[in-house]
Amino acid sequence: MEKQELRERIWDELEESGEARFPYPPHGRIPNFNGAKEAAERLAATEAWQEAETVKSNPDAPQLPVRRAALRRGKTVYMAVPRLREEKCFLRLDPAEIDDYDYASTIGGSAEVGVQVHPEEMEPVDLIVSGSVAVDESGGRIGKGEGYSDLEFAVLRECGLVSDETTTATTVHEMQVVDDDIDAGAHDVPIDVLVTPERTVRDEAEEKPSGVRWEELSEERIEEIPILRRLRAE
């Protein structure tokens, strides 16, 4: 099944079953789902979570409980600036500098209280939590189709902030776990820890993308993302 066809199937099933949560509809986005909080709690019970001091998370609604839990446990949270549109392309949420963790973990709150930083100002990332539309139990992942999650990893890898040993995780509804293996490209970041409200699946990937795959990026995309222009120049 083609990736877009699989996305549409998952979005339809979540909506028709009533398992999708606000924002509606789930189509065209990382879908929020019933049980997102329970999945976050299950992730927080893993060794990778407990050992992590820094967490990079996507900004989407289903991972809000993950971001909130990280701040409450004293972990520094990094989020990408939308579409990496500025050279200081990540937001740093330092729990020591934040009064209201609930507000700071929202998209609007993070933009207000987070500090924009260049990768050079970041600490190494211990755990990456990605939103997903579909995943398989061997680590394959499909996002909403824009490719920013994989590109963010590639930028962090170029800057020496992540490696093959950096744990990658996702929290999803059981409906988002598919039986067929997802066909992954060389730029796709595999998932080490898959968590649903009901279970945790670990399948640690041996290798992750080694950096930006310049040959796969158009000149237009490189020019519209400042950090890519800088990395290429260097």
CA distances from 155 to 38, 53, 110, 164, 172 (A): 31, 20, 21, 14, 25
Confidence at residue 203, expressed as pLDDT on a 0 to 100 scale: 83
Task: Give the CATH number of the domain where residue 50 resides.
Answer: 3.40.50.10420
Alpha-helix runs per DSSP H in the chain: 3-17, 36-43, 47-51, 64-72, 101-104, 107-113, 148-158, 219-224, 226-233
pLDDT digits (tens, 9 = 90+) for 149-168: 999 999 999 999 999 999 99
Query: What is the 8-class DSSP label of residue 234?
Result: -
Please give the span between the terminal C-alpha atoms of the chain, in angstroms, as a whole number. Answer: 40
Confidence at residue 58, expressed as pLDDT on a 0 to 100 scale: 96
In this structure, the dihedral spanned by the alpha carbons of residues 161, 166, 172 and 174, taken in order and rounded to 10 degrees, is: 160
CA distances from 105 to 11, 67, 111, 201, 213 (A): 25, 6, 10, 26, 31
Average pLDDT over residues 217-233: 94
CA distances from 91 to 13, 144, 151 (A): 33, 21, 16
Average pLDDT over residues 40-59: 97
Domains contained in the chain, number = 1
Query: What is the 8-class DSSP label of residue 73?
Result: T
| Cβ–Cβ < 8 Å for 3, 15 | no
SS (H, E, C) 90-102: EEEECHHHCCCHH
Query: What is the 8-class DSSP label of residue 17?
Result: H
Cα(199)–Cα(133) distance, integer angstroms: 17
**Which among 83, 75, 87 has a CA at the least distance from the CA of 123?**
75
Confidence at residue 187, expressed as pLDDT on a 0 to 100 scale: 83
pLDDT digits (tens, 9 = 90+) for 172-222: 999 999 998 888 777 889 999 999 999 999 987 778 999 999 999 999 999
Give the residue numbers spanning the domain of 22: 3-233
